[in-house]
Chain A
């Protein structure tokens, strides 16, 4: 028998109650506020100039370093990853450098109740997880663009946006599940009726 039945059935706590136990309403408020603040900070000129642009350039160089392991036709100029042989290049623009995805993840991690040590782990590992997938995104788009413009457009505008967000979601869920100071609420036999 699935454990859900055991805990939400005749002896358990309903998922709805657990949702409230986690303080999800409070979470959403803090999450949205943090998100807007972090996003606003990211858009400021000094942050763009001294943090986002250098990071994007580094990302392009990292992509080139990986691509040149199996393909010599790749180079980076600033935030552009390009193929000197055919002149095709992809410019890593806002939304494609993983910064916004990290902002969403960071806001979600900070907003959820946990210890700061656990949050720090989540921020560090989450950043790595998002950026690793983003490197795959950039490299895949680099090759898709050289192969087929339509496939590039679909992958760039629709597919990869959703896949990066799924990555953020799962990293966050894994992090929430490993929260050290959270504890399952006491099982209340009367809870089922209220659910």
Chain B
């Protein structure tokens, strides 16, 4: 309760919205300077997941601060103009770990805009939690590359429904999670802000000024 008493929330939703935009525009360029380092754990987690969940496909995984490179056992046909002796090559999938990590600056911007108490602690906790959806997105990005390049389910030794599952996972991981996860997490961390915003509206609707002294 102590932190709530020392917490001054934004005066209106519009102030919050404007602050969130400004903070997001300020924090994102800063994040871009450090994203290759902040996203390195995502690459490491993705390596662990791929080696355990797709061990049949994955021969080795190399992670650097700027990319994750997965050497697979999947053989793909070479185009005629680069064919040499065998006419096939093993697929290498590559992705940027920071590509799906832009939710972090959004999360921090929301914390700043809502003037969240315990800012640093929540930002750190949020960073750690957001590694999970980021790992999900990155893992399915790699799996998508493998399934698209690998072609038929027979070549990949999986069923059609598993390919559909990878396609769905990729869509969720690329289109929904990167922005939804930070907002949902912020809403959970700053649920007091949400409650205040809602109550403010309800009180105003009922003709009670939120600023007015209690009866």
Contacts and interface: CB of A to CB of B under 8 A. Distances in A.
A173 B197 contact: yes
B198 A165 contact: no
B62 to A, nearest CB: 23
B201 A6 contact: no
B1 A8 contact: yes
A174 interface: yes
Contacts of A12: 214
Given A2-B8, A157-B99, A177-B200, A195 B1 contact: yes
A14 B168 CA distance: 40
A192 B214 CA distance: 15
A56 interface: no
A80 B85 CA distance: 41
Given A3-B212, A170-B17, A95 B198 contact: no
Given A158-B102, A195-B1, A165 B200 contact: no
Contacts of B168: 40, 43
A177 B197 contact: yes
B200 A95 contact: no
Contacts of B128: none
Contacts of B198: 18, 22, 173, 176-177, 179, 182
A22 B106 CA distance: 25
Chain B interface size band reads 35 or more
Interface string B105-117: 1100110000000
Contacts of B56: none
Contact of A18 (B178, B183, B195, B206): B195
Given A19-B191, A166-B17, A170-B17, A161 B178 contact: yes
A182 B214 contact: no
B199 A7 contact: yes
A12 B203 CA distance: 13
Chain A interface main SS type? helix
Contacts of A124: none
B102 A157 contact: yes
Chain B interface main SS type? helix
A119 B123 CA distance: 33
Contacts of A168: 183
Given A164-B179, A165-B183, A4 B205 contact: no
A48 B90 CA distance: 33
Given A158-B102, A184-B206, A14 B191 contact: no
A159 B25 contact: yes
Interface stretch (B42-50, B153-161, B169-177): B169-177
Given A35-B176, A165-B183, A173-B13, A14 B4 contact: yes
Given A3-B209, A43-B167, 15 more contacts: A3-B212, A16-B191, A35-B176, A35-B180, A40-B168, A95-B174, A162-B109, A165-B106, A165-B179, A165-B180, A166-B20, A166-B21, A176-B198, A179-B198, A180-B205
Interface of A: 2-9, 11-16, 18-19, 22, 24, 28, 35-36, 39-40, 43, 94-95, 100, 104, 154, 157-159, 161-166, 168-170, 173-174, 176-180, 182-184, 187, 192, 195
Interface of B: 1, 4-5, 7-9, 13, 16-17, 20-21, 24-25, 28, 32, 99, 102-103, 105-106, 109-110, 167-168, 171-172, 174-176, 178-180, 183-184, 191-203, 205-206, 209-214
11 contacts: A3-B210, A3-B212, A19-B191, A35-B180, A39-B172, A94-B171, A159-B25, A170-B13, A178-B201, A178-B205, A179-B201
